[in-house]
Amino acid sequence: MVSPRSRGGDVTDVGFAAQQRAGALMDLGRHDEAVTVLRGVLAGQPQHAGVLFMLARCHRVLGQYAEAMRLIDQALGFSVTQEHLLVEKARILLAADQPAYAASAAHAALERSPGSWEAHTLLAETLLALGNPTRVVVARRHADNALELAPQVPTAHLLDALLHIRMGRLRAARAACGRALALDPSFEPALHQLALLDAGQDRTGRAARGFTATLAADPQDGPAAVRHAVTAAALWWRLFDAVTLAAVAHWALFALLTDVGRPVRLGTALLVLPVLAAAALLNRRRQPAALRWQLRRQLGSRTVVVCLALTVLAAAGLLVNGLATATESPAGAVAGLLLGPAGLVLVVRLVRQLGRRAGPALRWLGYQVWTRLAARTTLTVAADPRR
């Protein structure tokens, strides 16, 4: 955290001490208490730009964007050095889902301080939020500037990762998150982003462990808590995938090998199920205690009940198919009926997984084409990014 003495305004000993105390409370996530401390100082020093700045930041974190904007505009009227205030204004506007106005504030901050890595970072974030390919390419340049100015700051590497993700470069995004975590192993945004990357690539176990690590770094991270529960449920569905895929493969294999007798069919079925059960048990034991608790907690949820019912149906189809003498026999027909619903659900899941994997590849291809076309023209940054 930057020292309050560098934030402008007439900093008295009382104001400085209050900002230090408020900063410590903010680091602990106790923003309501920090607001009370800062309000107490502001009552006697209403033109204290440093206190106004910190108070605006507290209200931004609390989601009170209108009050945060009022305070930061008030601070801008009292402070001579305004770069940090404009950067905070951009953060407030970006949090309030006003990326065009946030880009204008970040651009103004950059004009006043071209060497500010924070201004480069905020301008890149706002351009990334605005979204069209030209702005994303320009955001890439500002992110590179931020990395050059502040290679020791994890936030700059996280921004690098976000831009790589937008351009479909997932391996580069992982490397950027790794560099951020090398600088700060408990940097929660990078842990969260790595877990999101794993979830997007259907690496469910790694994603679940990643969200567990994220919550260990920041127990108040609401989105990570939601994703932690979602990935725990996804682990149950991975068990369904494995059992159903094995059952469908068993049914299809012996539909082709018509001359194979019942002992081989049944023996294969009885071999597959224990192997899958052992693998599931081993995978569960590898998970952190928090995730094992989440798995137990979800046993009564509707989605997990449906998942387990379909898994049992697929396992039953596998066993009945093992008892059949042929696919055309009554037992073979029953096996086909049992496997039908689970097989259809598996197909839908596989199609969705392929779609998620194809998305980054298409984005990468699109930006490869775009950047080659853009290289033939001159890309310029307008003074007002809202244009």
Q: Which of 186-190, 367-371, 375-379 has the highest average model confidence (pLDDT)?
A: 186-190
- As given in the structure block, the two tokens for residue 129 are 């939020």
State the pLDDT at residue 168.
86
Of 54-68, 107-121, 186-200, 366-380, give the lowest mean pLDDT range.
366-380
Q: Summarize the confidence of residues 369-387 as an average pLDDT.
A: 56
- List the alpha helices (DSSP H) in 150-187: 154-166, 170-183
State the pLDDT at residue 97.
92
| Eight-class DSSP state of 8 | -
pTM for the structure as a whole: 0.76
Cβ atoms 69, 61 nearer than 8 A: no
Q: Is the pLDDT of residue 16 over 90?
A: no
Q: Summarize the confidence of residues 222-229 as an average pLDDT.
A: 87
State the pLDDT at residue 376.
62
> Measured between alpha carbons, how far is 71 from 56 in angstroms, rounded to an integer?
5
* Residue whose C-alpha is closest to residue 346's, from 249, 210, 271: 249
- As given in the structure block, the two tokens for residue 177 are 């998150």
> Measured between alpha carbons, how far is 43 from 220 in angstroms, rounded to an integer?
31
pLDDT: which is higher, 88 or 284: 88
Residue 235 Cα distances to 113, 213, 296, 297, angstroms:
49, 17, 12, 13
Read off the pLDDT band of 51 (50, 70, 90): confident
pLDDT tens sequence across 283-332? 888 888 888 888 888 888 888 999 999 999 999 998 898 888 776 788 87
pLDDT tens sequence across 127-149? 999 877 788 888 999 999 999 99
State the pLDDT at residue 13.
62
Per the prediction, the chain carries an average pLDDT of 85
> Measured between alpha carbons, how far is 15 from 21 in angstroms, rounded to an integer?
10
pLDDT: which is higher, 45 or 241: 241
Q: Is the pLDDT of residue 28 over 70?
A: yes
Q: Is the pLDDT of residue 1 over 70?
A: no
Domains and their CATH numbers in the chain:
1-81 (1.25.40.10), 228-354 (no CATH)
Q: Is the pLDDT of residue 163 over 90?
A: yes
* DSSP string across 200-267: HTT-HHHHHHHHHHHHHH-TT-HHHHHHHHHHHHHHHHHHHHHHHHHHHHHHHHHHH-TT--HHHHHH
Cβ atoms 146, 161 nearer than 8 A: no
Residue 83 Cα distances to 1, 42, 108, 214, 353, angstroms:
16, 22, 8, 32, 45
